[in-house]
Amino acid sequence: MANRNTNYRVIIRPPRPDLRFSTVIREFERDIRDAYKRLEDKSRDIIRAETPKVTGATANAWNSSRSVDGNLKATITLNNPNPQAQRLNIGTKPSRGRYVPELGRRITTGEHPGTKGTQYIQKATNQISDATLEEMKDVVDMIKQNTGKNFRFVGT
């Protein structure tokens, strides 16, 4: 009689993930990250186009950064280190006027009447918001084409 091994080893393995599904998820994440990159570039281009220009230095000073967390939530930051950018957007107030000793008081109208702001950042923000919705709709359409699933985009 042959020597039989009575010890049995039971190996419990988690079920193998569906490789097609994990591939779709990786492609989805890649598509989302690519969309964020396109959106960052588009946002920077929009705000540069909306910035009032004389020499173009203020418009060209716009830079951007993007951070994406693990849940694919992105934050795109647009920054302009040029101090002229804020003055162009909100304007400047008039000068106070100078003190005249002969009159013993300050003249109410100054030499500088002030500058009205252009509110270009608000205009650019509205365009960036529209571009964001369009970009996300494009990503959802791409996912629909790749997976054949009927996803729905819910925008704000």
pLDDT confidence tier of residue 15, bands split at 50, 70 and 90: very low
0.75 exceeded by pTM: no
Q: Is the pLDDT of residue 53 over 50?
A: yes
84-88, 119-123, 126-130, 138-142: the lowest-pLDDT one: 138-142
Q: Could you write out the three-class secondary structure of the chain?
A: CCCCCCCCCCCCCCCCCCHHHHHHHHHHHHHHHHHHHHHHHHHHHHHHHHCCCCCCHHHHCCEEEEEECCCCCEEEEEECCCCHHHHHHHEECCCCCCEECCCCEECCCCCCCCEECCCHHHHHHHHHHHHHHHHHHHHHHHHHHHHCCCCCCCCC
What's the confidence (pLDDT) of residue 7? 45
pLDDT in tens, 100-116: 888 888 877 767 788 88
